[in-house]
Amino acid sequence: MKALLDWLDRRTGYRRIIEYSLYENIPGGARWRYVWGSTLVFCLSVQLVTGFVLWMAYSPSSQTAWESVYFIQNEMNGGWLLRGLHHFTASVMNVLLVLHLMQVVIDGAYKAPREFNFWFGLGLLQLVLALSLTGYLLPWDQKGYWATKVATNIMGIIPLIGPALQRLIIGGPDYGHHTLTRFFALHAGILPACVVALLTWHIFLFRRHGITAKDPKRKPDEYFWPDQVLNDAVACLAVLATVLFLVLRPWLFRTGGDLGAELAAPADPAETYSAARPEWYFLFLFEFLKFFPGGTEIWGAIVIPGFILLIIFLMPIIGRWNLGHRFNVGLAFSLLGGVLFLTFLAITKDRRDPAYKVAVEEARRNAERVKVLAQAPNGIPPEGAATLLRNDPLTQGPKLFARNCASCHRYDGHDGTGRVPTTTYVVKTNETLRDVAKLHEMTEPELMSLNQLKTNRVGLNQELKVYEKQSASDLKDFASRAWIAGLLDPQRIDSLQYFGGTKFKEGKMVKFLKKDIAAFSPDRKEQLKKVIAALSAEAGLQSQRSLDQRDAALIGEGTTLVAGEVMRCTECHQFHKPDEDATAPDLTGFGSRDWLIDFISDPAHGRFYGKRNDRMPAFGRDKVLDDHAIGLIADWLRGDWYTPAPE
Amino acid sequence: METPELPPQPARRNFIKKACALVVGAVGGLVPVVSGLMVFLDPLRRESQDHDAAQIASLDALPEDGVPRKFSVIASHTDAWNRVPRVPVGAVYLRRIGDKQVQAFNVICPHAGCFVDYDGTRRIYHCPCHNSSFALDGRIADPKSPSPRGLDELEVEIRNQNEIWVKFRNFRAGEKEKIPA
């Protein structure tokens, strides 16, 4: 064995290398305060190992980046762990860098002859920040996309070279395939190569000048191996434990959500993303930028940070004087304090902002929904996962409804997205809060919380936010048996839920209900139930499929009743046979997808309300919405969207 | 750099420290390496796709004299995250061997996986890579052919009198036996 090792040593000189790396003298012996540099080397190694494997599964293009990351995260063995380690080690690395830098400044380790090593360290810090920034975009999710857009747009405001620099970084005038290929080349190639080169020199210089020993020395000198190595190894293990804790946090605290790094919905330039924030270690810059009004951003984004960086760069020179060193330490602490304060400010502002909370909740919903759709039997189409959400009635329906329908209609009392449309009401003479609440069919506490009132006293001409009354029907469960039963209920047809807010409140149907149906005999009332079942079956709703199958016989009888003369439906409505004299909406296929699409497209068509149409726009005929959008609204109202089969 | 003299340390304490340093270091290094290996080895647990029989062509499209013709196989295909319902997944040679009988071969050479051509003048299938050649019935035509087996024949079914349906599969190259890939 020894002969073999001797042979190896003569040819490779490995013993000298090991000796050189392990038997470094540490004046005053091993100490915990010397571990920071080693933890950073450890982090970099973790990033290299995890990064190389991520690289094997990552595909940089705008149709495959999110998709490949989704696949790593959700489909590949241990992918979530790998991605989580890479993501959170980056976070931890930024913290460690700051700690390392602070220690160097406090201990005066930047002083001669170590100036260059300090500058190399600063270079490494910037490279790591650049790695964080470029890595944030690579998953091509909404979060990374919008946050990185802000960063590259800021780059564009640099005088003279800004626009060209921006184009070079993002690979063209707009975000796309080449943005990803360039960011990826930077993130996985150029920047890591620079880091390795600079770090090698950094460590070489560190060995050349030796460790900056902290006085007073408490122990005799020791070698690096084994005491300091043990300290370093324990510190690295603690770093790893922290990272693992962050990766496993959703599981440890049972908060739900993905283990490891978050993956938002796929990037979509047409979808707002108000929850866009940079990664937490850039939040201070984000907050800092808010202090600069339009046109002066360059001061906040480039000039002031650049100036601060320059002073830090000059620290070894300033530190030559005793007072200078104190200035450096003071500056380092105040900068750290400033960064922490700005970060704290950014986080608390967001915490207190209800609009931000709504945006975050919506982002979470979309991220979860797209995962469900990607796992559906149809999988992800080659056009990319963004189309899954664009074509999903559950995602698009509420938004389209809120924008186009909720000025009159409601969906379970709100605008589809959970918000109730509001309007302003001016308090009149002698009106109390109770009067105002009653007038707008609200409860007093509702009114108080909506206006953030602390007491129930209101004054004359006070402006109050009130729920806007709906002026057309509530379309939750449209065409279901319950919905039709309500429509055909003489007590409810003229309520706001149905025709109460429309001109049909005074129409023939309401009169017919109040006079004739209200006077139905018990037998007739039984028949009416069959009519309701039959009309509802015309819609073919997914939620009623088993009910409709079970009641096939009853529905058959009901259909005959609707078509017949006893129930008098066909006096005004058309039902399964053309009737030119029909004056009310066609009941053939009532509530089916085709019926709804035709109705939304043109409610004033002869088949529906004709000239009697109240205020509803012809969304299709007048090209307010395209066929795709109308289809999405129809599908959403019918509850027709993909849901995974229960396991 | 000179190595200064160090006071001798008790051997046992040193040994325990060394062992601890190695173990702790190894644990720290192992976690990222193992997570990387898990993802790296993920392809090993993925199963190859088994296609259902696909309709390739109609009988009328094949010459009566048994000369083969090449057709694309259109089937659903899963490629990592993408699922495509209809996409070319390979190609086959079809030839008539009777009034209502058809023989189908995968176009891939069983030697090393090149795309085999049909040479109409010599009436053989010829592989452009290493000169494997196969007779019309798919058997090895030349005793010096580098291919270890004849062309891979696929299951054919004639449906509705005229439709040719083929159960498409790929097989491992370089093996004497036909083993599904």
Residue whose structure tokens are 């057709």? B71
Provide the 3-class DSSP secondary structure of residue A464: strand
How many Å lie between the alpha carbon of A62 and the closest alpha carbon of chain B? 14
Q: H-helix or E-strand containing A192?
A: helix A191-209
Model confidence over A345-370: pLDDT tens digits? Answer: 999 999 988 889 888 988 999 999 99
Q: Which amino acid is at B159?
A: R
pLDDT of residue B7: 53
Nearest to A106 by CA among A214, A221, A217: A214
Ramachandran quadrant class, B66 (left: phi over 0; alpha: psi -120 to 50; beta: rest): left
Q: How many other CB atoms sit within 10 Å of the CB of residue A173?
A: 9
* Length of chain B, in residues: 181
Question: Nearest Cα to A60, choosing from A196, A155, A151, A176?
Answer: A176
Q: Which residues pair with B125 in a beta bridge?
A: B118, B134
d(CA B53, CA B164): 10
Q: Is the pLDDT of residue B1 over 50?
A: no
Residue contact B28–A240, C-beta within 8 A? yes
Contact yes or no for B39 and A72 at CB 8 A: yes
Q: What is the pLDDT of residue B6?
A: 54
> What is the distance between the alpha carbons of residues A65 and A88, in angstroms, rounded to a whole number?
20
Q: Is the Cβ–Cβ distance between A404 and B109 less than 8 Å?
A: no
What's A225's DSSP letter? Answer: I
d(CA A122, CA B11): 41
pLDDT digits (tens, 9 = 90+) for A254-275: 887 788 999 999 999 988 888 8
Residue A422 pairs in a beta bridge with A467
Chunked into runs of 10 residues, chain A (647 residues) has average pLDDT values of 93 90 85 91 97 97 97 95 97 96 93 93 96 97 94 89 94 95 97 97 92 81 87 96 95 85 94 88 92 88 93 94 93 96 95 87 92 93 94 95 94 89 89 88 86 84 88 95 95 92 92 91 92 95 94 94 91 90 92 96 93 93 96 96 87
Which of the pair, B61 or B4, is modelled with greater confidence?
B61
Spatial contact of A264 and A272, defined as CB atoms under 8 Å apart: no
- Enumerate the β-bridge partners of residue A423: A466
pLDDT of residue B11: 65
- Please answer whether residues A268 and A66 qualify as being in contact, where contact means their C-beta atoms are separated by less than 8 angstroms: no
**Quick one: A646 exposed, middle or buried, by C-beta within 10 A (0-12, 13-18, 19+)?**
exposed
> How many CB pairs lie under 8 A apart between chains A and B?
112
Residues of B in contact with A259 (CB under 8 A): none
User: What pLDDT is attached to residue A163?
Assistant: 93
Q: Return the bridge partners of B71, or none.
A: B92
The angle at the Cα of A236, spanning A41 to A139, to the nearest 5 degrees, equals: 65
Cβ-nearest to B21 among A52, A53, A229: A229
Q: What is the pLDDT of residues B63-85, one digit of tens each?
A: 998 899 999 999 988 899 998 88
Token pair in block for residue A399: 């938004």
Q: Which residue has the tokens 């809120």?
A: A402
Q: pLDDT tens-digit profile of A96-129?
A: 999 999 999 999 999 989 999 999 999 999 999 9
Instruction: With CA atoms as reference, report the closest residue to B145 among B165, B168, B129.
Output: B129
CA distance B39 to chain A (A): 5
Residues 60-89 of B with CB under 8 A from A: 78, 80-85
Question: pTM for the complete prediction?
Answer: 0.89
* Euclidean distance between CA atoms A167 and A338, whole angstroms: 32
Task: Please tell me the distance in Å from B109's CA to the nearest CA on chain A.
Answer: 29
Q: How confident is the model at residue B2 (pLDDT cuts 50, 70, 90)?
A: very low
